[in-house]
């Protein structure tokens, strides 16, 4: 097998101990690529295509070594020569091909699909700069292009290429593949990323993420979801989406024919799961290809397509439910807009009295989710609560028409990355206590036998401490910031969005700051860590970031408070950062407005790593509570029915809550003198006004309860026996959230792949 020392001499002409981490990374990447070359691609007849605009795959080295079975060996070998795999991995540049949960879900799914031996590829786009790289300057979020595409790379260029016809020009794609390796699997799958050779970073205005949005040939795959605040940005998104799905559809048909399909039986050979609505245009595109290139009648093409496409809905936020003006689609691809109009006619004649299910509304706007539900065979939500809300409220008219199409598939996470690779210390603890069967069948409940065993609880506590020290070292090494490893680590990491309610935690920080100033010293110092990016056009989200960064500076400067409270906003939160943060966390903040977070997967990662959850009754938090019991999770706040009612009846008045004696000083602190001294008046005032007069996502409604539950959590932390028992119980019940379970459900109920 691998002799790293020899390899170092061969490649770099020096001993391993003298190689830089980048050099060792290159050696290991070549080794993994070689090993994966030896594995055959899964070639069973029926194949899944997971089409997604995002794949937040994270760094691949550690995960691939683990899945191939070389992880322990390599780690030991490196240590023998004074090197560390963690530091080598820091030399890998993480591809930023996703925004958040939706993209990370796609990545976890690929791992599980392959580990379960199923035939399934991911299909998406090879964005050259992915999402932006976040940097903080003057306590504000700034944007840098994220150049992840350098050498060495996991991408392998294939020979495959298709023509994609737009209205006034045709573009020719190239396909790049990344091998997807399953855990101890003998076959592999692939992530197929389409690109365009003419795309160039030269059109980016220096060191920014601005570029000429009209030059499609040169910008098409430059960035993930470019700014959609103007029409040019919107059109570019449609160009991207159509480019993605046209390539995907052509690939799917070509491969099915290769495996023996006569095209009429295409649906026996391929099933397509579309990850949210971004790939919905694959429906009209398949119909176009079947009718124009394979001589199939329109109505038959519609039926074939309908039997192939399954849709996952990820949201109920109306802003996130995609709608495109018909004229925009026409501008990009008139053939496709014509097919959509035909499909819409079919629906309108069948359901003339139900305007809410019409694909094209009275304003000539296309509702992508409606297209996907009518012309796919399956629609699923991503947690029980979310699916119920879809069936009862958001998509109720569709549910009445097609009850058989609806199902729930509660999200999951791959334990290979989020436990075995991210937390080897907890992994060996589990191996010792309950054996290794869980690596492939994620049942951890046997751990409950140790619930009352003090020695075991001490071990758990020691592992958490070790992980805090590792986080501290990592943050010092990579970002030059310091945290106290003896503090309580309390984390909220996720996209910055009003509905995720980071502003609530910020208001709590203000509360705690004032409380400490009054002389109420916490028994154990507290470190509150945020991470997350905000969309460039999302003003209030920028203001929330600004508030948190200003609070962080204020507290750092205050010697009365800084021994006991630290607030840190980790720059450029991504999968790699998550892998350090989550194993170190004592507390997981899951405080979205009930009904607004479809599932969450961050919540599952924290639970699995022994953090205790503070949660609203939202998404998969509800299922966490069912699993661990009310006494092992800290829930608070209004439930989704109450929130839905408030929205329906216009029943929320932020001013009513703002005026409360406990709340007003906290909100007003945002625009207090010490804050204005540090921060920017415009940002802070805008946020202050928003919370006071609008507060659309009701940060204030649950604030008093939130403060009470946080105080309770910190108090409980002091009772070690109780705390670590709760932590153990959480780990023991996390097996349900393995994405292997989720994928088995998708396969049994939707995909029907053989393995």
Ligand X SMILES: *Cc1c(COP(=O)(O)O)cnc(C)c1O
Q: Catalytic pick from 495, 546, 566, 638?
A: 495
Residue 100 or 124 having the CB closest to ligand X: 100
Question: What residues from 215 to 274 belong to the interface with ligand X (CB under 6 A)?
Answer: none
3 state DSSP class of 732: helix
For Cα atoms 531, 535, 540, give the angle at the middle one, nearest 5 degrees. Answer: 85
Q: Smallest gap, in angstroms, from Cβ of residue 104 to ligand X?
A: 4
Greatest CA span in the chain, whole angstroms? 80
Per CB under 6 A, the list member of 130, 376, 600, 610 interacting with ligand X is 600
- The answer to whether 440 and 453 are in contact (CB under 8 A) is no
- The answer to whether 32 and 180 are in contact (CB under 8 A) is no
Can 494 be counted among the known catalytic residues?
yes
- The answer to whether 15 and 82 are in contact (CB under 8 A) is no
Can 114 be counted among the known catalytic residues?
no
Compute φ and ψ for 174, nearest 5 degrees: -125, 150
104 near ligand X, rule: CB under 6 A? yes
Q: Smallest gap, in angstroms, from Cβ of residue 328 to ligand X?
A: 29
- The answer to whether 181 and 114 are in contact (CB under 8 A) is yes
Q: Smallest gap, in angstroms, from Cβ of residue 395 to ligand X?
A: 22
Nearest CA-CA partner of 116 in 543, 407, 414, 559: 414
Q: Smallest gap, in angstroms, from Cβ of residue 586 to ligand X?
A: 17
Residue 609: which region, alpha, beta or left (left: phi > 0; alpha: psi -120 to 50)? Answer: alpha
Can you spell out the DSSP letters for 159-183? Answer: S---EEE-SS-EEEEEEEEEEEE-T
Can 524 be counted among the known catalytic residues?
no
Q: Smallest gap, in angstroms, from Cβ of residue 590 to ligand X?
A: 7
Can 140 be counted among the known catalytic residues?
no
Residue 305 or 738 having the CB closest to ligand X: 738
59 near ligand X, rule: CB under 6 A? no
Residue 130 or 522 having the CB closest to ligand X: 130
Can you spell out the DSSP letters for 284-314? Answer: HHHHHHHHHHS---HHHHHHHHHTTEEEE--
Question: What residues from 577 to 596 belong to the interface with ligand X (CB under 6 A)?
Answer: 578
Can 314 be counted among the known catalytic residues?
yes
Residue 130 or 602 having the CB closest to ligand X: 602
Query: Pattern 147-176, binding to ligand X, x per CB under 6 A?
Result: ------------------------------
- The answer to whether 243 and 194 are in contact (CB under 8 A) is yes
Question: What residues from 24 to 53 belong to the interface with ligand X (CB under 6 A)?
Answer: none
In order of 526, 589, 628, 630, the CA distances from 635 in angstroms are: 20, 11, 12, 8
Q: Smallest gap, in angstroms, from Cβ of residue 578 to ligand X?
A: 4
Q: Catalytic pick from 605, 692, 726, 733?
A: 605
Can 539 be counted among the known catalytic residues?
no
Per CB under 6 A, the list member of 35, 54, 88, 101 interacting with ligand X is 101
130 near ligand X, rule: CB under 6 A? no
For the chain, how many residues are written?
Answer: 755
Stretch that binds ligand X, among 191-199, 572-580, 680-688, 731-739 (CB under 6 A): 572-580
Q: Smallest gap, in angstroms, from Cβ of residue 532 to ligand X?
A: 8
Question: What residues from 489 to 518 belong to the interface with ligand X (CB under 6 A)?
Answer: 494
Residue 89 or 330 having the CB closest to ligand X: 89
Q: Catalytic pick from 26, 59, 314, 546?
A: 314
Q: Catalytic pick from 114, 410, 601, 742?
A: 601
Residue 424 or 531 having the CB closest to ligand X: 531
Q: Catalytic pick from 464, 494, 638, 710?
A: 494
The H-or-E segment that residue 338 falls in is: helix 334-350
- The answer to whether 317 and 279 are in contact (CB under 8 A) is no
Residue 513 or 634 having the CB closest to ligand X: 634
Q: Smallest gap, in angstroms, from Cβ of residue 413 to ligand X?
A: 7
Cβ-proximal residue to ligand X, closest one: 602
Residue 23 or 571 having the CB closest to ligand X: 571
Compute φ and ψ for 261, nearest 5 degrees: -75, 145
Stretch that binds ligand X, among 65-73, 98-106, 346-354, 671-679 (CB under 6 A): 98-106
Per CB under 6 A, the list member of 4, 59, 67, 100 interacting with ligand X is 100
Per CB under 6 A, the list member of 555, 575, 594, 624 interacting with ligand X is 575
Stretch that binds ligand X, among 109-117, 429-437, 465-473, 601-609 (CB under 6 A): 601-609
Compute φ and ψ for 145, nearest 5 degrees: -65, 140
Residue 56 or 216 having the CB closest to ligand X: 56
User: Cα torsion for 63, 68, 71, 73, to the nearest 10°?
Assistant: -170
- The answer to whether 617 and 637 are in contact (CB under 8 A) is yes
602 near ligand X, rule: CB under 6 A? yes
386 near ligand X, rule: CB under 6 A? no
Size of the site for ligand X (CB under 6 A): 12
Residue 85 or 578 having the CB closest to ligand X: 578
Residue 94 or 331 having the CB closest to ligand X: 94
For Cα atoms 493, 100, 399, give the angle at the middle one, nearest 5 degrees. Answer: 115
- The answer to whether 619 and 386 are in contact (CB under 8 A) is yes
Question: What residues does 366 pair with on adjacent strands?
Answer: 324, 360
Stretch that binds ligand X, among 14-22, 97-105, 641-649, 681-689 (CB under 6 A): 97-105
Residue 124 neighbours by CB distance under 10 Å: 26
End-to-end, the C-alpha distance of the chain in Å comes to 29
381 near ligand X, rule: CB under 6 A? no
Q: Smallest gap, in angstroms, from Cβ of residue 597 to ligand X?
A: 7
601 near ligand X, rule: CB under 6 A? yes
**363/369 Cα distance (integer angstroms):** 17
**367/686 Cα distance (integer angstroms):** 32
Compute φ and ψ for 401, nearest 5 degrees: -75, -45
User: Cα torsion for 625, 586, 563, 676, to the nearest 10°?
Assistant: -50
Compute φ and ψ for 754, nearest 5 degrees: -95, 150
Per CB under 6 A, the list member of 574, 586, 616, 727 interacting with ligand X is 574
Binding residues for ligand X, rule: CB under 6 A, are 56, 100-101, 104, 494, 574-575, 578, 600-602, 605
Q: Which residues are catalytic?
A: 314, 494-495, 500, 601, 605
């Amino acid at each position: 097998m691998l002799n790293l020392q020899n390899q170092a001499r061969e490649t770099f002409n020096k001993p391993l101990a003298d190689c830089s981490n980048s050099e060792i990374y290159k050696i290991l990447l070549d080794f993994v690529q070689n090993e994966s070359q030896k594995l055959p691609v899964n070639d069973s007849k029926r194949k899944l295509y997971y089409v997604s605009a995002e794949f937040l795959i994270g760094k691949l080295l550690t995960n691939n070594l683990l899945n191939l079975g070389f992880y322990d060996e390599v780690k030991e070998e490196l240590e023998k020569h004074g090197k560390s795999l963690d530091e080598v991995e820091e030399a890998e540049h993480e591809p930023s091909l996703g925004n958040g949960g939706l993209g990370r879900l796609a990545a976890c799914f690929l791992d599980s699909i392959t580990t379960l031996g199923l035939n399934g590829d991911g299909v998406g786009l090879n964005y050259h700069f992915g999402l932006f790289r976040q940097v903080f300057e003057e306590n504000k979020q700034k944007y840098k292009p994220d150049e992840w595409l350098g050498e060495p790379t996991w991408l392998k260029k294939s020979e495959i290429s298709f023509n994609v016809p737009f209205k006034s020009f045709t573009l020719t794609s190239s396909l790049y593949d990344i091998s997807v390796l399953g855990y101890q699997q003998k076959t592999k799958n692939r992530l197929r990323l389409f690109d365009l050779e003419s795309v160039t970073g030269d059109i980016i205005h220096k060191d920014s993420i601005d570029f000429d949005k009209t030059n499609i040939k040169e910008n098409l795959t430059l960035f993930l979801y470019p700014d959609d605040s103007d029409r040019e940005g919107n059109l570019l998104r449609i160009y991207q989406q159509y480019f993605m799905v046209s390539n995907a559809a052509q690939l799917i048909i070509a491969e099915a024919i290769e495996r023996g399909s006569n095209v009429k039986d295409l649906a026996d050979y391929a099933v397509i799961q579309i990850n949210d609505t971004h790939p919905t245009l694959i429906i009209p595109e398949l119909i176009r290809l079947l009718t124009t290139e394979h001589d199939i009648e329109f109505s038959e093409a519609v039926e074939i397509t309908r039997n192939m496409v399954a849709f996952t809905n990820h949201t109920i936020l109306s802003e996130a439910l995609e709608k495109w003006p018909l004229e925009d689609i026409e501008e990009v691809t008139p053939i496709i807009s014509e097919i959509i109009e035909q499909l819409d006619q079919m629906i309108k004649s069948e359901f003339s009295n139900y305007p809410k299910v019409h694909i094209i509304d009275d304003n000539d706007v296309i509702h992508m989710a409606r297209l996907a539900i009518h012309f796919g065979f399956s629609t699923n939500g991503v947690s029980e609560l979310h699916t119920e809300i879809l069936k009862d409220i958001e998509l109720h008219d569709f549910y009445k028409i097609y009850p058989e199409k609806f199902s729930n598939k509660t999200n999951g996470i791959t334990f290979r990355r989020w436990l075995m690779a991210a937390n080897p210390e907890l992994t060996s603890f589990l191996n010792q206590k309950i054996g290794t069967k869980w690596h492939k069948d994620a049942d951890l409940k046997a751990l409950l036998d140790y619930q009352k065993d003090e020695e075991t609880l001490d071990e758990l506590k020691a592992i958490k401490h070790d992980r805090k020290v590792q986080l501290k070292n990592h943050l010092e090494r990579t970002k030059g910031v310091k945290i106290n490893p003896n503090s309580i680590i309390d984390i909220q990491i996720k996209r910055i969005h009003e509905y995720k309610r980071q502003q609530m935690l910020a208001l709590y920080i203000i509360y705690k700051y004032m409380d400490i100033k009054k002389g109420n010293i916490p028994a154990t110092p507290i470190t509150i860590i945020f991470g997350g990016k905000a969309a460039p056009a999302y003003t209030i989200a920028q203001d929330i970031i600004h508030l948190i960064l200003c609070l962080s500076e204020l507290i750092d400067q205050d010697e009365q408070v800084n021994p006991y409270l630290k607030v840190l906003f980790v720059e450029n939160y991504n999968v790699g950062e998550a892998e350090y943060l989550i194993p170190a966390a004592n507390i997981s903040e899951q405080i979205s407005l009930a009904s607004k977070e479809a599932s969450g997967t961050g919540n599952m990662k924290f639970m699995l790593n022994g953090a205790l959850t503070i949660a609203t009754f939202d998404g998969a938090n509800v299922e966490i509570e069912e699993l661990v019991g009310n006494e092992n999770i800290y829930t608070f706040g209004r439930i989704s029915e109450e929130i839905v009612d408030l929205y329906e009846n216009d029943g929320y008045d932020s001013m009513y809550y703002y005026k409360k004696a406990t709340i007003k000083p906290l909100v007003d602190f945002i625009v207090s003198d010490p804050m204005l001294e540090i921060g920017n008046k415009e940002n802070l005032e805008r946020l202050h006004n928003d919370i006071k007069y609008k507060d659309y996502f009701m940060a204030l409604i649950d604030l008093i309860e939130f403060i009470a539950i946080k105080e309770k959590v910190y108090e409980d932390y002091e009772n070690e026996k109780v705390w670590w028992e709760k932590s153990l119980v959480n780990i023991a019940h996390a097996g349900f959230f393995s994405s292997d379970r989720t994928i088995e459900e998708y396969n049994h109920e939707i995909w029907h792949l053989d393995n």
